[in-house]
Amino acid sequence: MVSVLPWSFGIGFSFDADSLRHIRTECERAKDALYLGSGTAEVKIQRLGMEVRTSINREWLVQMNLDHLRSGILRCLTEAGVRQDAVDEVVLAGASSTIPAVLRVLLEFFQRQLIRFDIDLANLMSLSNVANTLNIPVVFRLSI
């Protein structure tokens, strides 16, 4: 939200630490209100004596997060130099693995690949450490 909202107001804060802190606080407050059941939440941004307000709803927040996931997948594949069809399987772990919308986004990119939910995280870390020790490129990671 911090990266999206200022631009939707037509304001850039990339070099203003105080404004970024204020925006982050406002975004966290709005996100908490939406996830606690509010239908909408108001975001108020102040800068140089100017105040801009907007209301956001949960649907907007979810869509923004899914767009962020899509761009993260594309960036991860590009930076790793891996084509989508070269991915053998996708492993989901943690709370995001139970969100149907996250699965739908993954299926947009990885329609033919196995998507697993049943990974033993301790085993995964062990395998990853062995692969790193042997210099075997096995996985690339995307944090969501």
DSSP state of 25: H
CA distance readout (Å), 18 to 1, 21, 47, 85, 88: 16, 5, 9, 44, 44
Hey, which CATH number is domain 5-60, 3.90.640.10, 3.40.50.410, 1.20.58.1610, 3.50.50.60? 3.90.640.10
pLDDT at 144: 45
CA 127, CA 122: separation in Å to the nearest integer?
9
For the segment 75-103, what is each residue's pLDDT rounded down to a tens digit?
999 998 988 888 888 888 777 778 889 88
Q: Would you kindly state where each structural domain of the chain is located, as residue ranges?
A: 5-60, 82-144
Asked if 109 and 84 count as a contact pair (C-beta separation under 8 A), the reply is yes
Tell me the C-alpha to C-alpha distance, in Å, between residue 16 and each of 6, 76, 84, 111: 12, 28, 37, 42
Closest of 90, 91, 94 to residue 111, by C-alpha: 90
What local confidence, expressed as pLDDT, does residue 131 receive?
63
* pLDDT tens digit sequence for 100-122: 898 899 999 888 777 877 766 66
Q: Global pTM?
A: 0.65
How many Cβ atoms from other residues are within 10 Å of residue 37's Cβ? Answer: 7
**57 φ, ψ to 5°?**
-120, 175
pLDDT 10s digits, 28-49: 898 899 889 889 998 887 766 7
Whether the per-residue pLDDT at 74 is higher than 90: the answer is yes
Token digits of residue 69: 């996931």
Q: Characterise 48 by phi-psi region: left (phi > 0), alpha (psi -120 to 50), beta (else).
A: left
- CB proximity list for 83: less than 8 A, separation 6 or greater: 77
Q: How many CA atoms lie within 13 A of 109 on its CB side?
A: 24
